[in-house]
Each structure stands twice: as structure tokens, then as C-alpha cells.
Amino acid sequence: MVIASGFIEVNKLNEIERIINELRMRKIEINEINSEKIAFLIERETMDKVKKDFEPLKDINGVKNVRLAYFSIEGADDDSAALQS
């Protein structure tokens, strides 16, 4: 499982609810809402799937900026990877 988290800055406070609904439709978890920022978490099977869901976030109407704060490395949670280290 690959995990990416970050936050979205919105243009206006009155756009937050619509953007949150859009994230939920895309199956993106919302962790926190703080003023004009929405913290999110994306969990997918591969890095390509995370990238596919992360990159279009900037195109949501009302989104000012998208910042990536953390992402895991694909395969890092596999038992075989842990045994090799």
C-alpha cells in the first residue's frame, strides 16, 4: 500500500464544503480542516495510482494550491522488503 498526504489551500472559505465533497467522491480521506486548508490522505495499491489521483487535485475548481507533505515508498510495507534489510 502506498500512502500520500498533504493539504489543499482553497481560494475562499465558502468553497470548502464543495471541495470536500469532491474529495470524498474521489475516495480521498479528509483528516482536518483548518481555516482555508484541507489536510488529506490518499491510500492506493501503487505509486502510479496515487499519482493518478494526486495530480488532478489542483484542477478542482476553487483549489488555490496542493502541497504534498508525505508519501510512502512502494513496497516498503512488504514483509519481504523488511526481511532483506
Query: pTM for the complete prediction?
Result: 0.81
Whichever domain contains 35, its CATH number is 3.30.70.1150
Provide the number of structural domains found in the chain. Answer: 1
Q: Report residue 8's pLDDT band, with 50, 70 and 90 as the boundaries.
A: very high
Work out whether the CA dihedral 58, 63, 69, 71 comes out positive or negative: negative
By residue count, the chain amounts to: 85
For residue 46, being part of any structural domain is answered with: yes
Summarised one tens digit per residue, pLDDT across range 10-53 is: 999 999 999 999 999 999 999 999 989 999 999 999 999 999 99
Task: Indicate whether 85 belongs to any domain.
Answer: no
DSSP string for residues in the chain: -EEEEEEEEES-GGGHHHHHHHHHHTT-EEEEEETTEEEEEEEESSHHHHHHHHGGGGGSTTEEEEEEEEEPPTTTT-HHHHHH-
